[in-house]
Structure 1
Amino acid sequence: MIEVSNVSRLFGEFRAVDDISFSIKTGEIVGLLGPNGAGKTTTMRMIAGFLDSSSGFVKIDGIDVKENPVKTKSKIGYMPESAPMYSDMIVADYLEYIANVEGQDPTEKLPHLVEICGLKEVMHKNIGELSRGNKQRVGLAHALMNDPEILILDEPTSGLDPNQVSEVRELIKKIGETRTVIISTHILSEVEMLCNRVIIISGGKKVADSSTEELRTHYGNTSEVIVLTGGTEDIVKSKFASIQGSAGVKVSAVDGKIQSAITVEGNAEIRPEVAKVCVDAGIPLYEMQLKKNSLEDVFKILTEAK
């Protein structure tokens, strides 16, 4: 279990992290979100023991990171955004070297790590010759070398192409089945796919901490029905505005058709009535979809207000 209690970090007079508190239970996959400069990386480095907090404390399984850094670090695997590796080393040699540095038996550790990180095809290659996706895989193998209970990943898919992103996400999911994982990222779709909980930091302060569904419920829980029809703007707007559960209608002409965005009151279900109105009024109905507010919408609400 990770316990962060009233933690702040100052760089000179600049307060990068300001009185943050949260706890993470064993087995959770948690997304740490925030705009650039919000304090995400600083927070992760304090958890990992790379930076001391200016005030407050961080505990890993009840052990204070400052008081017993060796013990707490032995429980953590950390992969920074740009994982530092020796680019002139062969992958196999590099991982063997890391195993020896960390007091592990390479003959026991490497076969398993090569398999779960998908490195079999690149073990003979120079690290400097690898794609960014494969470098991230080597970085993950490095972070997992001491079989940590906690894995901290800072922007693990930054700079990857779509295929590499998909591969690394699947790898993180697999790793997360047996470990506590903290992922720092600004890719919100990644959080929705990987994490069961989100902590949002803005301006050094924690502004939200809950599941993605709870965030949508508590912050701007709105939805729209987007409808593409025939008819004229005035008639379509008038008909849709009269529907019970409609909180407002915006219409615009799109390629000779009328697109309407109907704001829905609360959890009202208005789609059957939209279809009925179109039929009764003789308005051609081409498309209809429900659009709920996304995690991106919530993120903007919480971070732009700060």
Structure 2
Amino acid sequence: MRIEANGLGKRFQRDWIFRGLTHVFEPGTATAILGPNGSGKSTLLNTISGQLLSSEGTLAYSHAGRAVAVEDVPPLLAYCAPYLELIEELTLTELLHFHTRFKPLRPSLSPQALIGLMYLEKSRHKLIRDFSSGMKQRLKLALALYADTPLLLLDEPTTNLDRTGMDWYREHVHATAPGRLVLVSSNVPEEYDFCPQQLSVTDFGAQAAR
């Protein structure tokens, strides 16, 4: 997946969140979106994903050498963020079978195998609403990391994870990032230290004051 941003900006009412971003995100690369809390990292990620419309500038998407319309981007991306909701009335097994109907897992990986990768075998028939916050975050991560998509977006991926969960994230993001376009919104180095490229929201966010 390739994404080209040209003069991208987003504002709410009269306040610019970021402005003047021109950058090309190349296939097979990993980029960290950095900045303090409240600087607009999540807004930028949501804009790049097509979930929010930009206020100015353009975004161009392509995959395997072909242009992709913004409305066709969702099947090509996997997204993990603390604010995304899970269907809590389902059990873990039910949720995985439902979710993978529209967001398939990587080839040869079954929902049951994914449960094993998450170390949640004893919770396969447990309702999601009864999961701890850490278990829910690990589930969100697994659904994104192991989705068969060329674009992976991670917003503060280790929120609610303890040390064991952090180690799990680092192991599995290293296993699944190669070959994909990966964007990580974070201000925690352990979440993005595998990313060779970095963008600071404050660098182009400063354009908003001009």
**TM-score, normalised by the number of residues in structure 1:** 0.59
Listed one character per residue, the Cα deviations across residues 58-78 of structure 1 (whole Å, up to 9, x for unaligned) are: 1221636xxx23322221111
Q: Any conservation in 1 of the 2:91–2:125 contact (CA below 8 Å)?
A: yes
Give % identity.
Answer: 25
Listed one character per residue, the Cα deviations across residues 40-97 of structure 1 (whole Å, up to 9, x for unaligned) are: 1111001111100011111221636xxx233222211111223311223201101212
The letter of the residue matching 1:155 is E
Relative to structure 1, the CA distance from residue 154 to residue 103 in structure 2 (aligned partners, 3 Å threshold; closer, same or farther) is closer
Rg larger for:
1
- Partner residue in 1 for 2:56: 55
Q: Any conservation in 2 of the 1:31–1:198 contact (CA below 8 Å)?
A: yes
Relative to structure 1, the CA distance from residue 189 to residue 57 in structure 2 (aligned partners, 3 Å threshold; closer, same or farther) is same
The letter of the residue matching 2:18 is V
2:93 is the alignment partner of 1:92: yes
Hey, what's the Cα distance between the residues in 2 that align with 1:206 and 1:114?
44
Relative to structure 1, the CA distance from residue 42 to residue 36 in structure 2 (aligned partners, 3 Å threshold; closer, same or farther) is same
Hey, what's the Cα distance between the residues in 2 that align with 1:109 and 1:70?
28
SS of corresponding position for 1:74: helix
Following superposition, the deviation at residue 178 of structure 1 comes to 3.5
Listed one character per residue, the Cα deviations across residues 123-146 of structure 1 (whole Å, up to 9, x for unaligned) are: 222212223332122213433575
SS of corresponding position for 2:149: coil
Q: Any conservation in 2 of the 1:6–1:20 contact (CA below 8 Å)?
A: yes
- Partner residue in 2 for 1:5: 6
2:81 is the alignment partner of 1:80: yes
- Partner residue in 1 for 2:124: 123
Relative to structure 1, the CA distance from residue 103 to residue 135 in structure 2 (aligned partners, 3 Å threshold; closer, same or farther) is closer
Hey, what's the Cα distance between the residues in 2 that align with 1:58 and 1:4?
5
SS of corresponding position for 1:202: helix
Listed one character per residue, the Cα deviations across residues 178-218 of structure 1 (whole Å, up to 9, x for unaligned) are: 322111111124333x22221111175279xxxxxxxxxxx
Hey, what's the Cα distance between the residues in 1 that align with 2:122 and 2:90?
16
Larger RCO (CA under 8 A, 6+ residues apart):
2
- Partner residue in 2 for 1:174: 175
The aligned length equals 201
The letter of the residue matching 1:196 is P
Where does 1:270-289 land on structure 2 (aligned, <5 Å)? none
Hey, what's the Cα distance between the residues in 1 that align with 2:192 and 2:147?
26
Q: Any conservation in 2 of the 1:155–1:185 contact (CA below 8 Å)?
A: yes
Q: Any conservation in 1 of the 2:104–2:148 contact (CA below 8 Å)?
A: no
- Partner residue in 1 for 2:33: 32
Hey, what's the Cα distance between the residues in 2 that align with 1:74 and 1:52?
18
Runs (5+) with no aligned partner, structure 2: none
**TM-score, normalised by the number of residues in structure 2:** 0.83
Q: Any conservation in 1 of the 2:34–2:201 contact (CA below 8 Å)?
A: yes
The letter of the residue matching 1:199 is L
Hey, what's the Cα distance between the residues in 2 that align with 1:160 and 1:108?
24
SS of corresponding position for 1:81: coil
Following superposition, the deviation at residue 118 of structure 1 comes to 4.6
- Partner residue in 2 for 1:289: none
- Partner residue in 1 for 2:46: 45
SS of corresponding position for 1:37: coil
Q: Any conservation in 1 of the 2:34–2:185 contact (CA below 8 Å)?
A: yes
Calculate the aligned-residue CA RMSD, in Å: 2.6
Hey, what's the Cα distance between the residues in 1 that align with 2:178 and 2:117?
12
